[in-house]
Amino acid sequence: MKVTITTLNDEIFVLDVSEDLELENFKAFCEIESGFPAKDFILNYNGKPLLEDKKSLKEHGVRDGDVIVLLHMMQTASNLNQTDSSQALPTGLANLDFSGIRVPPGAASTSMAARNPPVEEDPRIIREMFLANPDQLALLKQNNPRLADALLSGNLEAQRMIAEEIRQKNIEANMEAAMEYNPETFGTVVMLYINCHVNGFPVKAFIDSGAQTTIMSAACAERCNIMRLVDTRWAGIAKGVGVQRIIGRIHMVQMRIEKDFLTTSFSVLEEQPMDMLLGLDMLKRHQCNIDLKRNVLRIGTTGTETPFLPESELPECARLSGYSEDEIVNQSMRDHEERQVKEAMEKSKQEAGGLLSLRPTTSGQSAPVPMQINNQRMVLGDPSQTIMPNDNFGEPEVEEIMSLGFTREQAIVELRRFNGDKTQATVALFAKSLKF
C-alpha cells in the first residue's frame, strides 16, 4: 500500500510499504526520506501520535492512500525557543520554580490539535499531495475524471469538491465501522403493542410514552360501539408528526388488560391509522412500567403484566414487512394509471362538451365507452386491462403474451414495466410463475 508523508515545511513523499510493516521499521524508511533521525520526530495520524513501535501499520489503522504527518521535534523546539528569547523576562522571574504547577490532562493535546489541524481536512494539502504524486493523480483521473479536472484547475470549485470527497470518505468510514462493531444499529425494531378489550371488543393498543394523551380512531370507536359517547365540544386539532382533526372526547370508558378493568378516557381522531394509542396520561395514572428486558407492560397499581405482541400479531399499519417490492411497484403503477385515466376523462369532457355516457349491458352493469383522444382510440375502464395512449405497445403484443397462458392484466403490467419490450416482459412473467 502507498502512504503519503508530509512535514510542517510542506515536504511530501510517498512510501510504498506493506500493511504488516512494524511502526519502527516504517520510521526507518521515513528517516531515510526526510533526513531526520527517528528519535527526533513523531508520526501523527488522524490527529493522534503513533507510539507503539511493535504494532504494524494495519493495527494502527493506517490504510492505502492515507496521509501521515511527520513532526520534527527539534525544529518545533527551536521555534519555541526563538519565540521565547524574543521576550525578555522581568527581573527575578528567571529564578522562580514552576515545576509544581500541573498541566490539566488533555490540555497539551488540545493545544497541539488546535495548532495542527488534521491534514486530511485541508483541501490545499490534499491538492499539493496529488500534484506531487503522478501515480495517484493518474488513478484519480481514471476513477473520478470530474474531480481530477477540477483539481488541476486550482480554483475554489476544486477545493470545494475535494472537501466534499473528504467528507464523504469520512462518512463511509464511519458507516463501515458502525457495520463492523455495532451492526445492531442498522436493524429495525417493532413497535410496542398489547392486546386489550374496550367495551368488550378486542383492540390492539399501541404503547406510546411520548404521546401526551390517549387517543382512538373514529373507526375503532364505531367498532367498539362507543361513538355515541363522543363529546364534540372537545373537538380541535392534534399536532405532532402531522396534523389531524379531533372529533371529540370520550370522558370515561372501561378497558380490560388481562384480568384488570381500568378506567380511561379517549380523544377520538378522524383519520388515525392506529386503532388505539395509550399515551402518557393513561400510563402515569396507572403507574405503568415498560419492561423491555422481559418484553412486558407492567401495571403498577395492580401488578398485572401483559406481553408485547410479536411482529406477526401486529396490525397491518405497524408491520415491518407489509408488502413485497413487486406489490409496491404494481400499486404505484396502478395509481399512476388511474391518474392518467382521470386526466384523459377530464380532457375528453372538455373536448366533447361535457357529454359522456355509459352503455348499459345485459348484466345491468355499465360497459366501457370507446373514446377518441389525441387521434387514438381508447376504452375507459380498469387501467390494468386497458392500453393507454402513451403505452409503447399495442394489442398484438398483449395477445401474444396472453397466448402463453398469462392474463391480460399481467401482460399489460409487465409490458408497461419494461417500456413495451415484449421479450423482457415475457421472461419476467415466466420467472414469477416458477415455483421452487
By annotation, the residues acting in catalysis are 208
Q: In which region does residue 91 sit, left (phi positive, over 0), alpha (psi from -120 to 50) or beta (all else)?
A: beta
198-204, long-range: CB within 8 Å, 24+ apart, which pairs?
198/224, 198/226, 198/253, 198/254, 198/255, 198/256, 198/276, 199/224, 199/225, 199/226, 199/253, 199/254, 200/224, 201/225, 203/275, 203/276, 204/275, 204/276, 204/309, 204/313, 204/314, 204/315
Amino acid at 284: K
Contact between 4 and 12 under an 8 Å Cβ cutoff? The reply is yes
CA–CA separation, 172 vs 277, rounded Å?
Answer: 38
332 SS3 class:
helix
Q: Return the C-alpha cell found at 327.
A: 406489490
Alpha carbon of 57 to those of 1, 23, 168, 176, 369: distances in Å?
Answer: 10, 6, 23, 19, 76
- Phi, psi angle pair for 242, to nearest 5°: -130, -170
| Strand partners of residue 141 | none
**At a CB cut-off of 8 Å and minimum separation 6, what does 147 contact?**
140, 161, 162, 165
Question: Can you give the C-alpha Rg of the chain in angstroms?
Answer: 36
- Segments of 120-242 assigned E as strands: 193-198, 201-207, 215-217, 236-239
290 SS3 class:
strand
